[in-house]
Amino acid sequence: METVLEVKDLCVTYQNKSRSVYAVKDVSFSINQGDSLGIVGESGSGKSTLAMAILRLLPPKTAKVTGEAYFQGKELLTLDDASLREIRWKHLAVVFQKAMNALSPVHRISTQIEDIYRQHEPKATRQEIRQRSQELFQMVGLPDRVYRLYPHEMSGGMLQRVAIAISLLHSPQLLIFDEATTALDVVTQGQILEEVVRLEKALNTTRIMITHDMSVVSASCTKTAVMYAGQMMEIGQTRDVLKRPMHPYTQGLLHSFPTLTGERKTLESIPGSLPDLSVEHAGCVFAPRCPFATDRCHAKRPAARQMEDGRTVACWRYGGESDG
């Protein structure tokens, strides 16, 4: 199966005059065509920073990005600006968390879509753009009249659907959802997730879903990656990671999330809080909050180890050599 995106040892460090913050550290993963990868973790764990680094949307003066990110064989982090513009939004697109902030409040949806479409297809006619927009509106469950509306005339759910339609204008091979359903009510979120899954099958699109909501990943993703404090703790098939979590952090996340089926249990939050990411941690970054931590966990960082079921886990409980 073709690999759409391969990330190797990606690091992001935010820097100012007084200190550095290690927001993403040595992250590696790959995603194949037709896959859907859910990246989960607490707020502040580096999920959005990871996506913005891959898209090269971080400010270069304050964010230092190292490592490699290959999209269909092209290294995104070293690509020249002109080549990157050819890829971004056409072959590699993103849906941001708050669509109402991504759309101009003083222009009709039609005007914005025409401007966006012509960035890659400058000779396209209004009729061609209108026809493509109508096809996508129908796919995401929007009426044709939306095309002539202003953003303030629509609900949050409709705006989110518009944002999804815009991201699909050029049928990208990889689509990144950055907390794209967080601000929506449960019913609307469920409808959009169903539409997203249906669309990616119809358009053969590969997807990355960034969220802190385990139910979103469970309902719409084939693979799950668990991030904590800028590092990958566990990556594998969703059915394996959510049903049989191995890393203590993944177990803690699941114990703090309510379920509608099975035995009733008291929800247990993970004690403590995220570590200070302006400090280099010699051992496992989760060790101060881990109920199973030993002296070795605090002294040395465990390397990611591949398990028999194919998932990758970075934890001393499952062996492996230190990578730091």
| Segments making up each domain of the chain, as ranges | 3-91+170-259+267-323
For residues 312 and 306, give the distance between their C-alpha atoms in angstroms, rounded to a whole number.
4
Q: Tell me the CATH number for domain 3-91+170-259+267-323.
A: 3.40.50.300
Strands 3-15, 20-32: pairing kind: antiparallel
Residue 228 has pLDDT above 70, yes or no: yes
The pLDDT-based confidence of 203 (bands split at 50, 70, 90) is confident
Helices marked H in 204-247: 214-220, 238-243
Amino acid letter at 25?
Answer: K
Taking all residues of the chain, what is their mean pLDDT, rounded to a whole number? 89
| Predicted pLDDT at 192 | 75
Instruction: Provide the pLDDT for residue 322.
Output: 46
Distance CA 108, CA 288 (A): 51
Which residues have a Cβ under 8 Å from the Cβ of 142 and sit 6 or more positions away?
A: 158, 161, 162, 165
Name which residue leads in pLDDT, 118 or 321. Answer: 118
Instruction: Give the confidence band of 52 by pLDDT, cuts at 50, 70, 90.
Output: very high
**Rounded mean pLDDT, 286-299:** 95
Contact 69, 76 (CB under 8 A): yes
- Indicate the range of 116-130, 202-216, 234-248, 263-277 predicted with least confidence: 263-277
For 238-260, b/e burial (b = at least 16 CB within 10 A) is bebbbeebbbbbbbbbbeeeeee
Q: What is the mean pLDDT of residues 204-227?
A: 90
pLDDT band for position 184 (50/70/90)? low
For the chain, what percent of residues have pLDDT higher than 90?
63
What's the whole-number mean pLDDT along residues 294-304?
94
Local confidence band at 288 (pLDDT 50, 70, 90 cut-offs):
very high
pTM of the entire predicted model: 0.89
Q: How confident is the model at residue 214 (pLDDT cuts 50, 70, 90)?
A: confident
pLDDT above 90 (res 114): yes
Residue, of 28 and 183, whose pLDDT is higher = 28
Give residue-wise pLDDT tens across range 62-80: 999 999 999 998 999 999 9
| Bigger pLDDT: 206 vs 185 | 206
End-to-end CA distance of the chain: 33
Residue showing tokens 């401007």: 115
Q: What is the mean pLDDT of residues 130-153?
A: 92
User: What's the token pair of residue 5?
Assistant: 């995106």
pLDDT, residue 18, reads 87
The answer to whether residue 160 scores a pLDDT higher than 90 is no
Taking only the tens place, the pLDDT of each residue in 255-284 is 887 765 666 667 778 888 899 999 989 999
Q: Is residue 157 exposed (0-12), middle (13-18) or buried (19+ Cβ within 10 Å)?
A: buried
The string of DSSP codes covering 56-111 is T-S-TTTEEEEEEEEETTEEGGG--HHHHHHHBTTTEEEE-S-HHHHS-TTS-HHH
219: burial class by Cβ within 10 Å (0-12, 13-18, 19+)?
middle
